[in-house]
Amino acid sequence: MSQLIVSRFDVVDLSVDALRILRAAVRHAYENQNVEKHTMRIDIFCHLAGIRTTTSERFLVLLQEARKALVEVVIVDTRSRKGDDSPWGSWPVFKKIGIQDAKVVFEVYGDTLSENILAILPSPKAKFGSGKLSKKTGREGLK
């Protein structure tokens, strides 16, 4: 029997806030899988994402950035012999994401929401460190 497993997220080009938006959207979609189109007031969504409510223009830029995230999947055939190559694939997380009537509206590809999805969501801390700026360099410290 074949099983589709999301193996990782490709978030290499995402900023901390775009990654927080991705995490909030995927978590919300996972917890509400019976809904295809998710709609939420921007201020509530920003609160869920852990980012400050920002201007519409800035928020739109962050949504466009979060839209670049990809998932990578492997297809495991439980009947195959060990050592067989597993098929691999990748696709965008979002079918669509945008702003409409002061609300964020998004759809996530259904196959993205596999059972292990919450466990492999990348955290901003893991990608960017503590989030605190170094006094010497002005850059974020990595752990």
Q: How far is CA 69 from CA 22, 63, 64, 134, 139, in A?
A: 8, 10, 10, 28, 24
Structural domains of the chain, ranges and CATH numbers in brackets: 2-128 (1.10.10)
pTM above 0.85, yes or no: no
Q: What's the pLDDT at 45?
A: 96
Residue 112 in contact with residue 93, Cβ under 8 Å?
Answer: yes
Please say if the pLDDT value at position 43 is more than 80.
yes
Q: Which of 46-50, 64-68, 123-127 has the lowest mean pLDDT?
A: 123-127
